Structure formats: structure tokens, C-alpha cells
Amino acid sequence: MTKFRFLTAGESHGMGLTVILEGIPSNLSLSEEYIRIDMSRRQKGYGSGGRMKIEKDSANIKSGVRHGKTLGSPISLWIENKDWENWTTAMAIEPVNEKDDIKRQTKIVPGHADFPGTLKYNHKDVRNVLERASARETAARVAVGSICKKFLSEIGIDIKSRVISIGWEKTSVANVDQINWEHVENSIVRSTNTREEQLFTNVIDQAKKERTTIGGVFQVIGFGIPLGLGDYIQWDNKLDGKIAQSMMSINAVKGVEIGNGFNNTEKYGNLVQDVIEPNSQDERKFSHKTNHAGGLEGGMSNGNNIIVNVAVKPIATMTKPLPSVDIISGDIVEAAYNRSDICQVARACPIGEAMLAITLSEVVLEKFGGDSIQEIKRNYKAYISSFKEYGK
Ligand SMILES: Cc1cc2nc3c(=O)[nH]c(=O)nc-3n(C[C@H](O)[C@H](O)[C@H](O)COP(=O)(O)O)c2cc1C
């Protein structure tokens, strides 16, 4: 069995993004159209900047799939940057003439990779850093995530997301079973209902008027999760830790909460544990009365929905730029301004879904490992049937 792993390559205004994904088993149905649907979800959202009007992302499958089914060999993808035609000189692979406009940038944007990245890599052009540090790379992750979602759906796992706050406005729908997913999918801010949509868009409008940006919190939920993914034995096998790392790796994410993690700190212990009771209808033979833990206990999935809340900071690039410095001259200047989003929280949702799908695929493959979908499903069923040994 090939180890599950993936790599992305590519610059924001380069030719495009390349992906190599290994470890997806054979015989999974896959098409470019299926991946495209998820990629387009990353491009929608109230408060998006100009780039999204240019890019209409799709991923070309270059290998690893034959006649609509995965082969078990590495899957490679190519995502073209539609904006490349305007950047052929600035981002040329070959050396260019000194007089050419290479869109050199020497002004730092505070809150970006610009400052540490430029000094660390000994560059004299901040563009050498920002081109890769940009969230454009997450288009590749969404493509990988959509393949992972397809894989997970084979054992009944489904991943969804919504926005739960923008700025100071918060959702009033706490129970994930009460979410109208059709509304979320059609909402420009991925809100749960029209009232929230109005509140969220008002905040974004206000930020735009004040020539600044605004962040928020989105929620990713994994449904149909089998008990026992991840492990309690070693620190780096704990699933909550893996999820936190994968969410934190998303650009602009600054906080990750599993279940009611932060709220639970304000309550007594007897109010926040999820009491377990016998339940002959549940495949586990037991069930929890509540899900404050967000589906994870001791670094393992406990069979409940996995619920992750992800805090996204306001974007650093603003139409009214902050004071900053020129890295070469040392002068005090205004921070650079490139076409930018006002609020990217809704657009970050499909990226969060992708990261959860990628993380869950890794642990599902560890637990039910096999080379073909058929083998994995057999292993999965045999494992679930072992729960019959417990309870009544
Ligand atoms: C979907 C998405 C879109 C983003 N768009 C922008 C943008 O238009 N302008 C910008 O300055 N930052 C944008 N960011 C955030 C930056 O990529 C991020 O703040 C930067 O790379 C620094 O990383 P850090 O905030 O994780 O420390 C976006 C992030 C995401 C997830």
C-alpha cells in the first residue's frame, strides 16, 4: 500500500499549480467535473476581490485515472492560472532584461509572509515570497480535498461547512442538526439563514466603507465518522492534533476550536462532558447524550460528528494601507496594495472542508488500509461488526 501524501507546487501569478497525490486506492470513480464543482465553491463569497473574477478554476487530471477510475498510482493535477498571460515577463522562468517590468515589490505588507520570508530567503524582491505564500495555493488543496471527499464518501463520511461569525455578528444556530444546508450552499456568505446573511453582509459592507477588512469564524463538520480514527498512544497520532495542524495551515487562520472547546472553559465539568448511555440502535451499542467534545475524545473519533471551528483573521491588504517599510531603502512607506478581498471567511470554508477531508483520509487509510476501494470497504465492515461484542 502506498503511503498517503500530497505535494503542491506553483506561484500565484505563475503558469499554474501542480499537485501530486499518492495513496488514493484503486477503483474510485473520479472526473474533472467532480473536482471542478468544489473548486468553484472556493471562488464564491461576498467580499471577494478582483482575482476571483478572472480565475475560473478547474483541475486537469494528468495521471492516475483511467476510464473514470483511479488506478492506485499517483494522481497528478494541473490547475492553470488564467491570469498568467499578464505575468509572462514578471514571472518568467528564464532571465529577463533589466529594463523589463518585473513587478518588483519592496514594500512590506504587515501580517503577510513578506518580512520574515524576504530576509530568511535572502531575496531583494518581496514578490519572490508573496507569490508562493499567497492563498492561491489553496486552490490546489481544494482539488486534493475533493478527491479525498469522494474517497471518504465510500464509507459514508460527508463533510460540510458554514460561516458562524463575521466580525462581531454571530450565528444563533448552535445545533448542527438544525442547519439548512441548501441555504448555506446558496448563500453568498455561507450563512445558516437570511437573517444572518443580512447581518454578515452588513458588517462586510461597513468594513469596505471604512477601507479596511474583516475576519470571522467558520465551522467544518464531518458527518458519518466511524469510532476509532486517530489514536491515544503517541502525541503525533492524536486526531484532534492533526486536525488543528491542518486547519492552522490555511492562510490567515489564527485559531482552531474542537467542539465547544472555548465555551466549555466557562462552565463546570459536569455540564460539558458528553454522558454515554446504552443504545442498541447505534452501531457502537452506546451513544452520547450531547456532543460538546466535537466528536473527539482522547485523540480519537468517538463516532459523533466532528465539529471544528476555525478563526480567520481580517486580511492584511487594505485599500487604506497601514504604515510600513521599504525593505531595500529602509524608508517608512505605505504598505503595498494589490487587488484584494475584504472578507475571505466564506471562501475559506471549502478550504477547511478540504483540510478535514485530507486529514480524515490519512487516518481512514491507516485504520482500514487497502490498495483498492473494495479492500478498504471490507476492512471497514469487519471492524464495525466487531462492536457487536459489546453491550446488549
Ligand atoms: C481564501 C483566502 C483568500 C485570501 N485572500 C487574500 C487577499 O486577497 N489579500 C490578502 O492580503 N490576504 C489574503 N488572504 C490571507 C493571506 O494569504 C495570509 O494572511 C498571508 O498569507 C499570511 O499568512 P498568515 O495570515 O497565515 O500568517 C487570503 C486567505 C484565504 C484563506
Range of lowest pLDDT (42-56, 113-127, 240-254):
42-56
From the CA of 138, how far away is ligand 1's center (Å)?
10
Give the whole-angstrom CA distance, residue 299 versus residue 281. 25
**Per-residue model confidence as pLDDT tens digits over 376-385:** 999 999 999 9
Instruction: Kindly report the protein residue whose alpha carbon is nearest to atom 12 of ligand 1.
Output: 315
Give the span between the Cα atoms of 139 and 41, in whole angstroms. 10
Calculate how far, in angstroms, residue 99's C-alpha sits from the geometric centre of ligand 1. 31
- Identify the pLDDT of residue 50: 60
According to the model, what pLDDT value does residue 392 have?
81
The answer, yes or no, to whether residue 51 has pLDDT greater than 60, is: no
N-term to C-term CA, the chain: 37
The protein residue with its alpha carbon nearest to ligand 1, atom 25, reads 252
Do 79 and 140 meet the contact criterion of CB atoms below 8 Å apart?
Answer: yes
At 45 the pLDDT is 87
The pLDDT, as a whole number, for residue 56 is: 83
Our count of domains for the chain comes to 1
pLDDT by residue (tens digit) across 315-373?
Answer: 999 999 999 999 999 999 999 887 788 999 999 999 999 999 999 999 999 999 999 99
pLDDT at residue 151, as a whole number: 98
* DSSP summary character for residue 168: T
Tell me which residue of 290, 330, 284 sits closest to 307, measured CA to CA.
290
Residues 59/150, Cβ–Cβ less than 8 Å? no
Torsion sign, CA atoms 245, 248, 250, 256: positive
How far apart are the CA of 316 and the centre of ligand 1, in A? Answer: 7
Give the mean pLDDT of 141-155.
98
Exposure pattern of 71-99 as b/e (b: 16+ CB <10 Å)? bbebbbbbbbbebeeebeebbeeeeeeee
Which of 66, 77, 73, 88 shows the shortest CA–CA distance to 14? 88
Smallest CA separation from ligand 1 atom 8, residue: 340
Q: Is residue 262 part of a domain?
A: yes
Ligand 1 atom nearest the C-alpha of 134 is 17
Q: Is residue 215 part of a domain?
A: yes
Query: How is residue 187 annotated by DSSP?
Result: -
Residue 244 pLDDT > 60: yes
The answer to whether residue 325 sits within a structural domain is yes
Pocket of ligand 1 (CB under 6 A): 49, 112-113, 133-135, 138, 250-252, 313, 315-317, 340-341, 344, 347-348, 351
Task: Say yes or no to pLDDT of 259 above 60.
Answer: yes
pLDDT tens digits, one per residue of 110-124:
999 999 999 999 999
pLDDT score recorded for residue 55: 62
- Say if residues 45 and 104 touch (Cβ distance below 8 Å): no
pLDDT for position 48: 79
Pocket test for ligand 1, best of 55, 254, 315 (most atoms within 8 A of CB): 315
- Find the 304 Cα to ligand 1 centroid distance in Å: 32
Half-sphere exposure (Cβ direction) of 84: Cα atoms closer than 13 Å: 14
pLDDT at 265: 97
Mutation pick for ligand 1 pocket among 115, 130, 341 (CB with most ligand atoms within 8 Å): 341
pLDDT tens-place string over residues 163-206: 999 999 999 999 999 999 999 999 999 999 999 999 999 999 99
- Note the pTM of the prediction, 2 decimals: 0.97
Residue 86 Cα, ligand 1 centroid: separation in angstroms?
A: 22
Domain that includes residue 304, residue range: 5-92+102-389
| CATH for 223 | 3.60.150.10
Does residue 97 fall inside a structural domain? Answer: no
Measure 323 CA to ligand 1 centroid, in angstroms. Answer: 19
Instruction: Decide if pLDDT at 49 tops 80.
Output: no
Calculate the average pLDDT of the chain.
Answer: 96
Distance 257 CA to ligand 1 centre (A): 20
Residue with CA nearest ligand 1 atom 13: 315
Asked if the model's pLDDT at residue 52 lies above 60, the reply is no
The number of helices, as runs of H, and strands, as runs of E, in the chain is: 11, 17
Cα three-residue angle 270-276-279, rounded to 5 degrees: 150
Q: What angle, rounded to 10 degrees, do the helices at 138-153 and 345-368 form?
A: 50
Distance CA 215, CA 199 (A): 14
Q: Closest residue (by CA) to atom 19 of ligand 1?
A: 252
The tens digit of pLDDT for each residue in 85-106 reads 999 999 999 999 989 999 999 9
pLDDT band at 53 (very low <50, low <70, confident <90, very high): low
Q: How far apart are CA 188 and CA 201, in angstroms?
A: 9
Q: Which residues are 334's β-sheet partners? A: 323
Residue whose C-alpha is closest to residue 311's, from 218, 203, 173:
218
Across residues 72-82, what is the average pLDDT? Answer: 97
**Which pLDDT does position 47 carry in this prediction?**
81
Q: What is the pLDDT of residue 1?
A: 78
225 Cα: distance to centroid of ligand 1 (angstroms): 30
Question: What pLDDT is attached to residue 44?
Answer: 85
Percentage above 70 pLDDT, the chain: 98
